Amino acid sequence: MNIYRLVYYSRNHVSSDDASYETAVDDILAKSRVNNVRDNITGALLFNSGCFAQVLEGPLDKVEATFERIQQDERHSDVSLLGLDPVSQRSFPNWAMGFVGLSDADAGRFAAVGLSSGFDPSRLNGEQIHILLRDLTMEEENSF
Ligand code: FAD
């Protein structure tokens, strides 16, 4: 089966108030994980400093349909597509939707790629975002 990888970032509209933030992220992740298992999609979502960045990988028609829904979602705006390319293998085979970006270790990882003041996706290309999310997710996986 041909697998495609899509990378985008967006401006998030989720309140930074702790309770509403947690509810919104929990909602997004719960819905994503159900839909993505159904659609054979894997990937990871990053939240930091008012932005989302996400990698979706799976069959082209499913990735495109999911991205269509995501673009309509009012919990974020200014969705910028950075890449949609065929890939030989998945980078997130064990994640219906991983979530990264809030731990101290992740902050150190941002600094390592020159983002010392936090994650600013407009300064990264699609491949850099993909590698960053892949590495953060892998660290999370290895910590279990
Ligand atoms: P339903 O859950 O029935 O939702 C119907 C409509 O209500 C949709 O238009 C939805 O956008 C809207 N909606 C639902 N809950 C809320 C809410 N709390 N606030 C505002 N609007 C709401 N979906 C995936 O399937 N896979 C993903 O990987 C994925 N990643 C996402 C990443 C981000 C950053 C965001 C913001 C959303 C993401 N979503 C993802 C959710 C996606 O935007 C749709 O909400 C979801 O796919 C709709 O699922 P559904 O068709 O089962 O509709």
pLDDT at res. 115: 60
At residue 73, φ and ψ (nearest 5 deg) are: -75, 130
Domains, the chain, ordered by start: 3-142 (3.30.70.100)
Query: Per the confidence metrics, is the pTM higher than 0.75?
Result: yes
Confidence at residue 113, expressed as pLDDT on a 0 to 100 scale: 59
pLDDT at residue 102, rounded to an integer: 62
Q: In ligand 1, which atom is closest to the CA atom of 71?
A: 43
Ligand 1 atom nearest the C-alpha of 43 is 28
Distance of alpha carbon 97 from alpha carbon 142, whole angstroms: 16
Alpha-carbon gap, residue 15 to 30, rounded angstroms: 18
pLDDT of residue 70: 98
Look at ligand 1, atom 11, and give the residue with the nearest C-alpha: 73
- Choose one of 31, 66, 67, 72 to mutate for the ligand 1 pocket test, by most ligand atoms within 8 angstroms of C-beta: 31
Look at residue 104 in the predicted model and tell me its pLDDT: 60
Report the run of H or E that residue 35 belongs to, with start and end.
Answer: helix 18-39
Q: Which residues of the chain have pLDDT under 70?
A: 49, 102-119, 144
